Structure 1
Amino acid sequence: MAVNLSAPRAGDLRPVPGVTIGVAEAGIRKANRKDLTVFLLEPGASVGGVFTRNRFCAAPVQVCREHLQQGDIRAFVVNTGNANAGTGEEGLVRARATCIALARKLEISPQQVLPFSTGVIMEPLPLDRIEAGLPAALADAKPDHWLRAAEGIMTTDTVAKAFSATARVGGAEITVTGISKGAGMIRPNMATMLGFLATDACVAQSLMQQLAFELAESSFNRVTVDGDTSTNDSFIVVATNKAQHAQVTRLDSDDGRALLAAMRQVAQQLAQAIVRDGEGATKFIAVRVEGGRDAQECRQVAYAIAHSPLVKTAFFASDPNLGRILAAVGYAGIDDLDQTRIDLWLDDVHVARSGGRNPAYREEDGQRVMKQQEITIRVGLGRGEAADTVWTCDFSHEYVSINADYRS
């Protein structure tokens, strides 16, 4: 069960003018499940994206990068059940053929289509099933199908992930709506996930890559479930330019900051939902590191804690074996770290002070916090004024079972 995460309601998700979405059951891996989704963008939309930093990236990631460079994107096609990764040259051929198939039906160029795949690695993409399912997906296309899309991109997720927000930009109200999928193989760089975030705000195409990067850095690149970087991670940001305000050309302007804040709110909700729905997760854990010389070293320490199987299994068991956290701080790679300056808290419980056990700390207080579903680990480095936060979850028996049986 996801940790304090409810399934979204269709009525809570706001359509984004300029975007229509259709979903179909194409039988890509299993029958009777939504597994093929199309996004259709009206002319004039601005699109940016960031992708996995895994060098063994999937064929659709490679094709997306090529097509984004050419601009004027008009459609996405997303399949679940098959990642089209580890498929060599044939995988690229099939990813491009998917774009051609959709482009023909829309009477646009194949380079105006972005393909996305998620699922099992090293199996041929069933192109025939995708092509056969496209007419049903296109016939289903409506502006208010965000929830259907969130359900249609799920793999091991137990809950669909979708959120909306509104904001004032340039005197006009704008809408932001996004969906994501992911529950395992989640680690920064990015974190297996897909994310699609759209707004009707007016944003220059030249700004979209920076916008996508800024949003990913503060959301999807701040979560980890198991420390594995997927082959297929993709995060796409769309601005349809339908709102009635002047075009945003700089993120450091008043309008740019308002836009970024609204989109970051939804991106962080989506990213945290992935952690809350982490495979087998029973606890949602924020790891905040303070007192660093810069934000980068704070993240370095936070990730060392969040990736540690020993830390994560201790939290699953509510076992206050908290020396594991201090050990992770120590091996995070800060060579001149002074352990006598380290402080550690679990929520309001001061566990370690000046590098040693706090004399006032009682193990039953640590265990009380660890039994909660939501926990904050806070570490003070005593080196400066910087701080940063990442979000993670525990490791349970169920995580092993899900991944042992994934292909069954």
Structure 2
Amino acid sequence: MSSTTVNGCMKQVTGGSVHTPAGFKATGLHTKVKRKRKDLGVIVCDEAASAAAVYTLNQIQAAPLAVTKESIAAGGTLRAVVVNSGQANACTGKAGMEDAYEMQKKTADTFGLSPLDVAVASTGTIGDRIKMDKILPGIKEMKPEAEASGSDAFAESILTTDTGTKQTCYVTEIDGKAVHIGGVAKGSGMIHPNMATMLGFVTTDANIAPEHLQQALSEITDRTFNRITIDGDTSTNDMVLTLASGKAGNEPLHEDHPDWIPFIQALQSVCEELSKQIARDGEGATKLIEVQVHGAPSDEDAGKIAKQIVGSDLLKTAVYGTDGNWGRIICAIGYSGVTIDPDTIDISIGPHSTLLNSEPVDFSEEAVTNHLKQDEVFIAVNLNLGNGNGKAWGCDLTYDYVRINAGYRT
């Protein structure tokens, strides 16, 4: 397993994922809930792992979220997470809660754990109960492994309309020890997080208490998973769950630890990479769009404007059609809710300036069109008001998005 230096001592681990941090194993299998793809997965830690999570803010929340919140609240640690795809177990009433608890108990029994050691997650069609006659025997058959094949199987098992798996891993140095952070996610549609409308699972061998892990995850979620949008819909099931085994042997991490910043940078790199993979894989998408906003009154304002721009259906369709219509960008800035000066705005599409101090700039339509034909499209805005910076990611809006969602249940 090789690594690439990204920022000082931080490196991206080629082929790394949730199995890479010490103490973790994973797997996934096909129970026939779905026709072909794997549909059941598990991550298991050798010992009690510090746990932290962020959840969808949709007021309608699926049964597995309630079960997971209860488990984490019981002691701040977990040993396993079990995930099914195909049925969301959302809006399924008391029976759905019973199913989620039964999945938790079967997983605990299979791996010799307490039920409160187990988190539960589900994704798929809302209103459908889980096919427990397939899932429960599948849980008993799962054999997690600390190999890439285990992470690959898990990553496949959580997919719905995704076109491929989403995994990454970074390593950094804490107290002279190598600390790994690996992640896997799913998400392709119903992506407009306020937390994160997707499923994400992050493992690390860092030694960090649950409350400090929660602090780090909440802070980073606002800058990564909360900055992606595909279609403006926020789902009912979704969360990011982080587990820390402590096996790296570093001194306990906290905000005053001298290596807190390197840890935060590595965790943010994992979450940002997963966020970009989700945005790139938006339903029907052909392009990843990254919007960078500078010169805002605050970082929060910059992030809000960036997400407003990348979430604009008019902008998304213009990118699909390779139309350099910067008017759609400035329009989104204007209705973002952030206080701006309408006379000081700069806009660039790729390297090409289109607006300077809110005055149109002559530019080559052909050059801008050529940039919009690329797989990755970059839009930069400078409000020239302050020191706030922020980024957001999304994708173009295509005919295929309508096709995929018009036939989602068929």
TM-score if structure 1 supplies the norm length? 0.92
**1:33 to 1:365, Cα distance in 2 relative to 1, 3 A:** closer
- Match runs of 1:101-140 below 5 Å: 101-137=106-142, 140=143
Deviation at 1:311, TM superposition (A): 0.7
Q: Which residue of 2 aligns with 1:217?
A: 222
- Give me the whole-angstrom Cα distance separating, in 2, the residues matched to 1:104 and 1:244: 30
Answer yes or no: is the 8 Å Cα contact 1:166–1:176 preserved in 2.
yes
Q: CA deviation at 1:369?
A: 2.0
2:384 matched to which residue of 1?
382
Q: For 1:252-291, what per-residue CA distance to the aligned partner results, in whole angstroms no more than 9, with x for missing partners?
A: 4222222222222122111110011111111111111111
Q: Does 1:402 align with 2:404?
A: yes
Q: Tell me if the contact between 1:118 and 1:192 (Cα under 8 Å) persists in the aligned partners.
A: no
Q: Is the 8 A contact 2:85 2:160 kept in 1?
A: yes
Who is 2:347 aligned against?
344
By how many angstroms is 1:378 displaced?
1.0
Q: Secondary structure at the match of 1:118?
A: strand
- Give the secondary structure class of the aligned counterpart of 1:226: coil
Name the structure where strand makes up a greater proportion of residues.
2
Q: Contact 1:44–1:241 at 8 Å: present in 2 too? A: no
Tell me how far apart the structure 2 counterparts of residues 257 and 35 of structure 1 sit (CA, whole Å): 37
Looking at structure 2, the residues matched to 161 and 216 of structure 1 have their Cα atoms a distance apart, in angstroms, of: 17
Contact 2:14 / 2:169 at 8 angstroms: preserved in 1? no
Contact kept in structure 2, 1:10 and 1:146, CA below 8 Å: no
Could you tell me which runs of 5 or more consecutive residues in structure 2 were left unpaired when the two chains were aligned.
1-12
Alignment deviations for residues 19-67 of structure 1 (CA, whole Å, 9 cap, x no partner): 1213221122x23421111111222311111111111111111211111
Distance of 1:224 and 1:281 partners within structure 2: 12
Q: How far apart, CA to CA, are the structure 2 residues paired with 1:180 and 1:252?
A: 30
Provide, for residues 81-115 of structure 1, a one-character-per-residue CA deviation record: whole Å limited to 9, x for no partner: 01111212221121112111222223322122100
Query: In the alignment, is residue 231 of structure 1 matched against residue 230 of structure 2?
Result: no
Output aligned runs, 1:2-401, within 5 Å: 11-13=15-17, 15-28=20-33, 30-71=34-75, 72-137=77-142, 140-144=143-147, 145-248=150-253, 250-334=254-338, 336-358=339-361, 360-401=362-403
Tell whether the 8 Å contact from 2:78 to 2:243 is kept in structure 1 after alignment: no
CA contact (8 A) 1:23 1:136 kept: no
Query: Displacement, 1:11?
Result: 4.7
Q: Distance in 1 between matches of 2:245 and 2:284?
A: 37
SS of 1:73 mapped into structure 2: strand
User: Quick check: 2:167–2:183 contact (8 Å CA) kept in 1?
Assistant: yes
Question: How far, CA to CA, are the matches of 1:264 and 1:251 in structure 2?
Answer: 15
Report the residue type matching 2:372 in the other structure. M
Check whether the contact 1:280–1:397 (CA below 8 A) recurs between aligned residues: yes
Q: Percent identity?
A: 37
Partner amino acid for 2:344? R
Residue 192 of structure 1: how far off its partner (Å): 4.2
Q: What's the secondary structure of 1:339's corresponding residue?
A: coil
Partner of 1:4: none
Counterpart-to-counterpart distance in 2, 1:183 and 1:112: 29
Q: Which residue of 1 aligns with 2:3?
A: none
More displaced 10-residue stretch of structure 1: 300-309 or 179-188: 300-309
Q: What's the CA shift for 1:344?
A: 0.9
Residue in 1 that maps onto 2:8:
none
Contact 2:326 2:347 survives alignment (8 Å): no
Q: Distance in 1 between matches of 2:109 and 2:64?
A: 18
Contact 1:185/1:191, CA 8 A, preserved across alignment: no
Asked whether the equivalents of residues 67 and 114 of structure 1 are also in contact (C-alpha less than 8 Å), the reply is: yes
Superposed displacement of residue 167, structure 1 = 1.4
Runs of 4+ aligned structure 1 residues displaced above 3 Å come to 9-14
Cα pair distance change 1:88/1:341, threshold 3 Å: same
